[in-house]
Structure 1
Amino acid sequence: MPHVISALVAKRAELAGELLALDRQKAALIDQLAYIDHTLAIFGYEGNPADIQPKGKHAYRFKRRELPRLMRKIEAEGVKLTYRETALRIIEAKGWNAANGALVTKIIECVKSQKSWRRRRATQSK
């Protein structure tokens, strides 16, 4: 068997093993949900537990204090930029796709929030 084929067979076996592990993890989570649903019923919850909206994990786009550091670096150039222009420069600095409209919108919101936080902090310290 050529080296490439044996490597692909090994990779497929590895991925199939990961898939089985995820299936077991999914089954365990379904069991945990059933236990919680039953406990909710015991404590008098009258709604349908399946109607409870699932929570997703928060996607952190920046490391701790990375956004303010990037903004200070951009502002140090001395050019007055809009939120959008600042966001686009940050996206460029991070190597992300600036054509992704949803990402640009989220980064603009992050920039607005950071500038607002900075203004509030500056007025509090006076």
Structure 2
Amino acid sequence: MADPHVITALVKKRALLAGDIENAHERLRQMVQDLENLDNTLRLFDPDYQVEAIKPKAFRPPKDWSNRGEMTRICLSILRQAAEPLTTRDIALQLLIERALDKNDQRLLRLMTKRVGVALRGQRTNGVVRSEQGPGQYVLWEIAP
């Protein structure tokens, strides 16, 4: 016989999941109704318009998105493992490697460098990291003592 606590937890989890599925079905019904209303409105303005010919635009989140706080956690982890202060760009490059992203994509590297800078400036304000002027325009970052 199974432990009653396990059964209770599984029943609660199943109820939550079933509720999520019901909500998703209701949201889907509403989206279908909204789409039909939009199609009918288009036909009011142009009765001959072929709304079926409109290709759906798929939502694809960028591969460089991260969950809340994940960027900061990775940056701090990289700095903890570093033997010396690192530039924002070096941290961004290491982050791309750790997340198995294309490290040769210069646009992505620039974007991640900016995001690393934002994450680390917030941590500098909190006293977790410190920075100093590095070579050229670069800032060197390290964990605060």
**Larger helix fraction of residues:** 1
Normalised by the length of structure 1, the TM-score is: 0.54
> Aligned residues: percent identity?
25
Normalised by the length of structure 2, the TM-score is: 0.48
Partner amino acid for 1:49?
V
- The runs of 4+ residues in structure 1 deviating greater than 3 Å are 57-60, 105-109, 112-115
CA RMSD of aligned residues (A): 3.7
Partner amino acid for 1:33?
L
Task: Give the aligned length.
Answer: 93
Residue 114 to residue 18, structure 1, CA distance change in 2 (3 Å): closer
Provide the rounded CA distance (Å) in 1 between the counterparts of 2:47 and 2:108. Answer: 37
Question: Contact 2:42–2:49 at 8 Å: present in 1 too?
Answer: no
Aligned partner of 1:91 in structure 2 is 96
Aligned partner of 2:19 in structure 1 is 17
- Structure 1: stretches of 5+ with no match in the other structure: 77-85, 116-126
Aligned partner of 2:4 in structure 1 is 2
- Determine which structure has greater relative contact order: mean sequence separation of CA pairs < 8 Å that are 6+ residues apart, divided by chain length: 2
Report the CA distance between 1:113 and its aligned residue: 7.3
Provide the rounded CA distance (Å) in 2 between the counterparts of 1:33 and 1:57. Answer: 20
Residue 16 to residue 107, structure 1, CA distance change in 2 (3 Å): farther
**Larger strand fraction of residues:** 2
